[in-house]
Amino acid sequence: MDVVGNLIQPKRPDRDVRRPAIIVSHPMGAVKEQSATLYATKMAEQGFVTLAIDLTFWGESAGAPRNMVSPDHYTEAFSAAADYLGTSPLVDRDRMGVLGICGSGSFAISAAKIDPRLRAVAAVSMYDMGAANRNALNHSLTLEQRKAIIAAAAEQRYLEFQGGEIAVAGGTDLVLTADTHPIQREFYDFYRTPRGEVTPAGASPQRTTKPTVTSNVKFMNFYPFNDIETISPRPMLFISGDQAHSREFSEDAYKRAAEPKELVSVAGAGHVDLYDRVDLIPFDKLTRFFNQNLAA
């Protein structure tokens, strides 16, 4: 399947110099124009060749049904991006890193465990999409509730096999009510307002962030932090807002990872703030991390 990305080069590139490169991927259920291309642009300004990709089944990348959850395919998308960059005359294939935002932080880790070409790994506002679906935030989902979700997805498979409409669920609410949870409000403020709304080919404002019901249970079998220590001695950087509801995932990954590793807490930042608030995103830290670890 084709993986589509936005390739961004530094201004006035020296055609005789192969540069370090960074693969960047978007929050789970988003598209490359939401957060990933911003990060890619900012890092290109610092001298990196960057590639902001759409994960398969999302945005302009291939895959059907749309909005399908497939952790293996998401992992493969990073390696496909490395294939492309590593054979480009613009790039030094021995100096490629990866940067994942939100759910893509966990997909980037999954990719780095089996692709040594990814020499430095950064995750911003990371979600462990496996743990988030098995346990919910702060382990608030009971085993009985988890089994009910799995059973409902299994029943939905019968309907879709017989020609029924593909159901999507979860993700960001489409409307706010008096009872909307504060975390949903945080995501709504990005995805359902002009701040984060985009309509590139392959994306729908009504379906963005919403996975198919039948496939979302695949995250129950996704354990990206298992064996995370095997990425060492390649360096890892975890960045989270000190007010982020998702901090537990970055802290868990940092605890499990082997050296060299670093956990950065951004004062006053929530989870979604680090999607696009350029006054809060520590681009200077990201630049130092990749400069140091993708040095010639």
Question: Which domains are present in the chain?
Answer: 5-140+219-293 (3.40.50.1820)
Residue 227's pLDDT is: 98
Q: What is the pLDDT of residues 124-181, one digit of tens each?
A: 999 999 999 999 999 999 999 999 999 999 999 999 999 999 999 999 999 999 999 9
Q: What does the alpha-carbon distance between residue 241 and residue 264 come to, in Å, rounded to a whole number?
A: 8
Residue 26's pLDDT is: 97
C-alpha distances (whole Å) from 228 to each of 41, 113, 236, 274 are 28, 7, 10, 23
The pLDDT-based confidence of 206 (bands split at 50, 70, 90) is low
Q: What is the pLDDT of residues 241-296, one digit of tens each?
A: 999 999 999 999 999 999 999 999 999 999 999 999 999 999 999 999 999 999 87
Instruction: Give the contacts of 12 (CB within 8 A, at least 6 positions apart).
Output: none
pLDDT at 200 over 60: no
Residue 181's pLDDT is: 96
Residue 207's pLDDT is: 80
Which of 207-240 are b and which e, b meaning 16 or more Cβ less than 10 Å from the residue's Cβ? Answer: bbbbbbbbbbbbbeebbbbeebeebeebbbbbbb
Hey, what are 2's tokens?
A: 């084709």
Q: What is the pLDDT of residues 82-100, one digit of tens each?
A: 999 999 999 999 999 999 9
Pure H helices in 169-246: 182-191, 213-216
Residue 10 amino acid letter = P
Burial class (CB in 10 A: 0-12, 13-18, 19+), 108: buried
The pLDDT-based confidence of 13 (bands split at 50, 70, 90) is low
Residue 123, classed as helix, strand or coil, is strand
Total Cβ atoms within 10 A of residue 115: 17
The pLDDT-based confidence of 204 (bands split at 50, 70, 90) is low
Q: What does the alpha-carbon distance between residue 294 and residue 113 come to, in Å, rounded to a whole number?
A: 18
Hey, what are 218's tokens?
A: 């695949």
Q: 3-state SS of the chain: helix, strand, coil percent to 5?
A: 40, 15, 45
Total Cβ atoms within 10 A of residue 267: 8
Q: What is the pLDDT of residues 27-81, one digit of tens each?
A: 999 999 999 999 999 999 999 999 999 999 999 999 999 999 999 999 999 999 9
